[in-house]
Amino acid sequence: MASSSAPKYNSHSLESSSIKRTLKDGANWEKSEEIPRLPGETRVTDKDVIYMCPFNGPVKGRLYITNYRLYLRSVENDPVVVLDVPLGVISRIEKMGGASSRGENSYGLDITCKDLRNLRFALKQEGHSRRDIFEVLTKHAFPQSHNLLFFAFTNEEKFSENGWMVYNPMSEYRRQGLPNERWRVTFINEHYGLCDTYPSLLVVPYNATDDDLKKVAAFRSRNRIPVLSWIHPENQAVIMRCSQPLVGMSGKRNKDDERYLDIIREANGQISKLTIYDARPNVNAVANKATGGGYESEDAYPNAELFFLDIHNIHVMRESLKKLKDIVYPNVEESHWLSSLESTHWLEHIKLVLTGAIQVADKVSSGRSSVLVHCSDGWDRTAQLTSLAMLMLDSYYRTIEGFEVLVQKEWISFGHKFASRIGHGDKNHADADRSPIFLQFIDCVWQMSKQFPTAFEFNEQLLITILDHLYSCRFGTFLYNSESVREKEKVTEKTLSLWSLINSEKSKYTNPFYSKELNRALYPVASMRHLELWVNYYIRWNPRIRQQQPNPVEQRYMELLALRDDYMRRLEELQITNNSKIPNSSASSTSPSQMMSQVQTHF
């Protein structure tokens, strides 16, 4: 769905269980034709429009609006053009043209989407048709601004798996071998009293009391104290995450914080220094002192080594993505593709994030020291770094379930502000809080999976599906800014988890080339020679640039797998018949070599 051409080539589209039906001929198609609808989805309105397809020109069609989606079906084109866009994807709706507009198709609506495309619909200049559509769309696309519920709360889909069961912090920490004699689980934040943007369950050094934690919280931005994200199973070095210390202009110090970091340093049983990675560029960290923040100075933390990772702030990332959209949508910059791509800096940012994560992972893996990661608040760049480093170090996170756990843990539970960054159901499209931080993380994961095509259990489709539902508001997974709000809104009771959809259809998201390898550190090469623009995501709306689906290499591999299984079955049969000494003449008379040529596999 959601692309401008026939459904059957629509492989890049948003996942949905929508029923795709071919257009039936006949005058009353309008009545007989149903649009795909989820349980709980209700039709609101429909209207004849002209879809101004940037690739194929104007398309006459009928636009249906439900409380979940915008759906367009062409009336004249063959093959039928279908657009299927969840309203959550909409970032901005603008009216184009006025009552006096003369030009053909110049009167209508221009819709900007969060997934890097724009939709334009031309309408007739009569009645209040545009006003009606505009109002309906605005209301349902921005429920937050209209005191309405997200569709996730009305969604009545049923899945065979319950995605809310995927992540249980206690079992995840147990999987890591925690708690142990050096690390303990604390419930100090059970009612989010210590830190309202952290999860209720935290892992902290055994030697730090809950009282210590409270004191440390006073010295960390938004009380986001250093807590454990991951522990190396062999060398016991850990990845800790937190926010910046509240040093300020005067260079304040805090004995408790200093002591706390020392306890962390010692907890891996070695006497090496603690390595602190400040994700920000040095200048920004310094500048933060003016607003009360800052970084760990050498004087105050003599046993720590501080490195800046030079990753830019959310505003820079937002601008970069905007520039990227400009060169890929609607048309791909032709003549100077490479320099245009470079001027967006998108891949350079990716490179820096990956480079930072590699440094974190390498430090921990080499066992030289434990690592503390922070940026300003510790919910954007910090989440990117810790989760990517964990992905590099722990092969569990490279499985489908493990990846869900990783996202759930490092992003959702640790308060990446999804609501603010994505602006779910919020009409305020220009909010300075918006930023594609999570998209950037998924892009980094994609780059890794591209460099190591056999290391991940999941495929590209999983990543695209996650991104699609990051915006769709069909699931509760990415709604709200923190665990505490989610608890208040009863998200797990009232909505479905995206992981329910995915885990019910795992085969769709499975990479056939996956080779399970345990405890293997996976370091991508953060070089522009290997980084690529994720065409299948960023340029997926352009019918001219489309990867073959299904991937031919994958397809042939699957054929081989089927052949192997068939051989194994036949061999078993043969062995049984041969053992029973009954001469066999009919059933399996096809010789293997003949079969080989049937599947046309060349040796």
Partner 1 sequence: RKDEILLCEASTVYKYIQEDGSNRGTYGKLVCTNFKIAFLDDDSTSDDNEPQFKNKIIGENDITLQCVDQIYGVYDEKKKLLTGQLRKYPEKLIIYCKDLRVFNFCLRYTKEEEVKRIVSGIIHHSQTPKLLKRLFLFSYASAAPNNTDGRNQTVMFDTLEDWRDELERTKGNVQYKAVSTNEGYRVSEKLPLYFVVPICVSEESILKYEGRGIPIWCWSCHNGAALLKMSAFPKEQDDSTSQMQKAFLDGIYRTIRKPPYELLKTDDLSSSLPSLQEIQTAYTRFKQLFLIDNSTDFWATDVKWFSLLESTNWLEIIRRVLKKAIEVVECLERQHTNVLLIEETATDLCCVISSLVQVMMDSYSRTKLGFQSLIQKEWVIGGHGFLDRCNHLHKSDKEEAPVFLLLLNCVWQLVQQYPPAFEFTETYLTVLSDSLYVPIFSTFFFNSQHQKDTTMTGEILKTQSSPFRFLTVWDWSVQFDLKAQAFLNNPLYAEKPKPEKSQRKTARFKHQRQLSLPLTQTKSSPKRGFFREETDHLIKNILGKRIGKFINSSDEPPNSFREFYDSWHSKPIDYHGLLLPRIDGPEIKVWAQRYLRWIPEAQLHGGGTIAIAAKILDLMEEVQNLQVKMDEEHSQAVSGDTHAVPMLRNYARLSSLFPFALLQRQSVKPALPTSTWKDLEDEDDLVKRDDEFVDLSDML
User: Measured in whole angstroms, how far is the alpha carbon of residue 260 from the centre of its chain?
Assistant: 33
Q: Is 548 in the site for partner 1 (CB under 8 A)?
A: yes
Cα distances (angstroms) measured from residue 198 to each of 139, 173, 328, 412, 477: 32, 16, 37, 10, 16
Token pair 């593709």: residue: 337
Q: Is 305 in the site for partner 1 (CB under 8 A)?
A: no
State which of positions 354-393 bind partner 1 (CB under 8 A): 355, 358-359, 361-362, 366, 375-377, 380
State which of positions 427-456 bind partner 1 (CB under 8 A): 432-433, 451-455
Q: Give catalytic status of residue 375 as yes or no.
A: yes
Identify whether the C-beta of residue 533 lies closer than 8 Å to the C-beta of residue 338: no
The region of 35-43, 69-77, 90-98, 553-561 touching partner 1 under the rule CB under 8 A is 553-561
Residue of the chain from 12, 120, 312, 424 that contacts partner 1 (CB under 8 A): 312
Residue of the chain from 291, 326, 508, 516 that contacts partner 1 (CB under 8 A): 291
Strands (E) in 80-130, as ranges, are 82-86, 90-96, 108-113, 118-122
State which of positions 34-53 bind partner 1 (CB under 8 A): none
Minimum CB separation of residue 545 from partner 1 in Å reads: 5
Alpha carbon distance 510, 286 (integer Å): 45
Give me the phi and psi of 85, to 5 degrees please.
-125, 120
Give me the phi and psi of 90, to 5 degrees please.
-70, 130
Does residue 269 have a known ligand-binding role? Answer: no
Alpha carbon distance 372, 226 (integer Å): 7
Cβ-based nearer residue to partner 1, 27 or 518: 518
The region of 95-103, 123-131, 229-237, 533-541 touching partner 1 under the rule CB under 8 A is 533-541
Q: Classify residue 59 as exposed, middle or buried by CB count within 10 Å of its CB (0-12, 13-18, 19+).
A: buried
Minimum CB separation of residue 176 from partner 1 in Å reads: 22
Minimum CB separation of residue 479 from partner 1 in Å reads: 20
Identify whether the C-beta of residue 226 lies closer than 8 Å to the C-beta of residue 261: yes
Minimum CB separation of residue 601 from partner 1 in Å reads: 7
Cβ-based nearer residue to partner 1, 170 or 545: 545
Minimum CB separation of residue 216 from partner 1 in Å reads: 14
Does residue 377 have a known ligand-binding role? Answer: yes
Does residue 195 have a known ligand-binding role? Answer: no
Q: Is 281 in the site for partner 1 (CB under 8 A)?
A: yes
Does residue 466 have a known ligand-binding role? Answer: no
Minimum CB separation of residue 24 from partner 1 in Å reads: 23
With vertex at residue 78, the alpha carbon angle to CA 72 and CA 82, rounded to the nearest 5 degrees, is 20
Q: Is 597 in the site for partner 1 (CB under 8 A)?
A: yes
Helix (H, G, I), strand (E, B) or coil at 509: helix
Cβ-based nearer residue to partner 1, 207 or 343: 343
Minimum CB separation of residue 338 from partner 1 in Å reads: 4
The region of 154-162, 199-207, 397-405, 529-537 touching partner 1 under the rule CB under 8 A is 529-537
Alpha carbon distance 595, 156 (integer Å): 47
Minimum CB separation of residue 366 from partner 1 in Å reads: 8
Structure-block tokens of residue 417: 């502000």
DSSP 169: H
Q: Classify residue 81 as exposed, middle or buried by CB count within 10 Å of its CB (0-12, 13-18, 19+).
A: buried
State which of positions 164-223 bind partner 1 (CB under 8 A): 218, 221-222
Cβ-based nearer residue to partner 1, 179 or 453: 453
Q: Is 580 in the site for partner 1 (CB under 8 A)?
A: no
State which of positions 246-275 bind partner 1 (CB under 8 A): 246, 248
Minimum CB separation of residue 243 from partner 1 in Å reads: 9
User: Which residue from 30, 31, 10, 32 is spatially nearest to 20, judged by alpha carbons?
Assistant: 10
Q: Is the dihedral of CA 211, 215, 218, 224 positive or negative?
A: negative
Alpha carbon distance 314, 433 (integer Å): 8
Q: Is 522 in the site for partner 1 (CB under 8 A)?
A: yes
The region of 143-151, 168-176, 279-287, 394-402 touching partner 1 under the rule CB under 8 A is 279-287
The region of 123-131, 206-214, 314-322, 403-411 touching partner 1 under the rule CB under 8 A is 314-322
Does residue 369 have a known ligand-binding role? Answer: no
Does residue 565 have a known ligand-binding role? Answer: no
Does residue 251 have a known ligand-binding role? Answer: no
Q: Is 286 in the site for partner 1 (CB under 8 A)?
A: no
Give the active site residue among 53, 113, 195, 375: 375
Q: What is the largest CA-CA distance in the chain?
A: 94
Give start and end residues of each alpha helix (H) in 13-159.
Answer: 29-32, 129-141
State which of positions 4-23 bind partner 1 (CB under 8 A): 5, 9
Q: Is 148 in the site for partner 1 (CB under 8 A)?
A: no
Does residue 380 have a known ligand-binding role? Answer: yes
Residue of the chain from 28, 100, 147, 591 that contacts partner 1 (CB under 8 A): 591
Give me the phi and psi of 87, to 5 degrees please.
-60, -25
Q: What is the DSSP string of 310-331?
A: ----HHHHHHHHHHHHHHHSSS
Q: What is the CB neighbour count within 10 angstroms for residue 86? A: 26
Cβ-based nearer residue to partner 1, 420 or 472: 420
Alpha carbon distance 129, 100 (integer Å): 15
Residue of the chain from 313, 399, 492, 504 that contacts partner 1 (CB under 8 A): 313
The region of 111-119, 225-233, 351-359, 406-414 touching partner 1 under the rule CB under 8 A is 351-359
Strands (E) in 260-370, as ranges, are 274-278, 304-308
Q: Is 333 in the site for partner 1 (CB under 8 A)?
A: yes
Does residue 576 have a known ligand-binding role? Answer: no
Strand partners, 203: 185
Q: Which residues are known binding-site members for substrate?
A: 313-314, 375-381
Which residues are designated catalytic? 375
Q: Which residues are known binding-site members?
A: 313-314, 375-381
